Homo-oligomer: A and B are copies of this chain.
Amino acid sequence: MPEPGSPPARRSPPAVRALRWEGGSLVVLDQRQLPGATVHRTLGHLPEVAEAIRTLTVRGAPTIGVAAAYGMVLGQRVDGLGVDEAARLLRETRPTAHDLFVGIAEVERAWREGKDTLEAAAAYERRLVEECHAIGEAGAPLVGQGARVLTHCNAGALATVAWGTALAPIRVAFRSGRDPFVWVDETRPLLQGSRLTAWELREEGIRHAVIADNAAGYFLGRGEVDLVIVGADRITRSGDFANKVGTYEKAVLARENGVPFYVAAPWSTFDASLTRGDEIPVEERSGDEVRNFAGIATAPEGSPVRNPAFDLTPHRFVRGFITPDGVLAPEEIEERLKAQRPLHP
């Protein structure tokens, strides 16, 4: 862990990287095993990529978009699939994150047009990494000297290949010597906050404390949170958005306590085809994620469980969206999406 006070240079990429195309395969960091073990998996076939997305071996909306883009490449070059079949197999993995469908569609287009699919996937990855760094630069001015930032889930390098969305402004502020402090919601049921976000922050030497999700309101109520920054899985043109379950709770609590709430996302997360949050499909995952931890029962055997993986936050709770092109108010999104180079679908 670096010494406090000696942050890395402002533009040098974070040490953590979620995936990498290498030797004709997709090499991913297995996010299920962090922070206990740092295990890389080499995925050489499209169905392996689909399974890695489904099981959360790779996770985070922007990261699964890039993984799926490379999955398309494998589907074409290694598995000899047709373009429709390849796209279908990857689309069926998870329903909520918009980036997944964008990553698939970007490579699908190149494939149908007879262009180089690997170059399309690599360009998609490069664009994402650049956008996340730009999000960091755009959002860093919001993170003042010693600012105490609450975040939920993991919207760091693991979720976005590099830099992060919610964590990017914090990283840039840290590298600028502003010594931010991060309240890390542990993020039940799968603990992406305590397992992944805390790990990334520790790797980089950024001050933080892990809290039970239940404790965020307590610290907000005591005036110990200066701002909230979260990522997103899908943002409609009104600014209503889906993110990890629990995000809506933090948004309501932030407003109640007069604390500004920001959503950081690349353009692939925005879905110009939807207006209201309740149009976004919300994945409900197995109750076993809540009912057991590491094979130990945390509820009576057979007790019914409901396990929505995401929730929906209305745009009125959002002070601003931190995008690669600056911080936008919810009402600016629709116009800005029209000016944006179209991302598919």
Contact = CB atoms under 8 A, between A and B. Distances in A.
Interface of A: 35-36, 186-189, 191, 194-195, 198-199, 202, 208-219, 221, 244-246, 248-249, 252-253, 256, 282, 287, 290-291, 293-294, 296-308, 311-312
A246 B307 CA distance: 18
A212 B188 contact: yes
B217 A252 contact: yes
B299 A198 contact: yes
Given A198-B300, A213-B188, A299-B194, A218 B248 contact: yes
**Most B CB within 10 A of own CB, among A35, A212, A221:** A212
Contact of A311 (B188, B191, B215): B215
Given A194-B299, A291-B210, A215 B308 contact: yes
Given A297-B36, A298-B186, A215 B245 contact: yes
B298 A191 contact: yes
Contact of A218 (B256, B298, B302, B311): B311
Given A188-B214, A221-B312, A208 B304 contact: yes
Contacts of A245: 212, 214-215, 218
Given A211-B306, A215-B245, 20 more contacts: A35-B299, A35-B301, A188-B212, A194-B303, A199-B300, A209-B305, A210-B303, A210-B305, A211-B307, A212-B290, A213-B246, A214-B249, A215-B307, A215-B311, A218-B245, A218-B312, A221-B248, A252-B253, A293-B296, A294-B294
22 contacts: A35-B299, A35-B300, A188-B214, A189-B212, A195-B298, A198-B299, A198-B300, A202-B303, A208-B304, A209-B305, A209-B306, A210-B304, A210-B305, A211-B306, A212-B307, A213-B214, A214-B249, A214-B311, A216-B249, A249-B253, A252-B256, A293-B296
A244 B293 CA distance: 22
B312 A212 contact: no
Contacts of A36: 297
Contact of A217 (B219, B249, B304): B249
Given A212-B189, A252-B253, A306 B194 contact: no
B304 A209 contact: yes
Contacts of A312: 218, 221
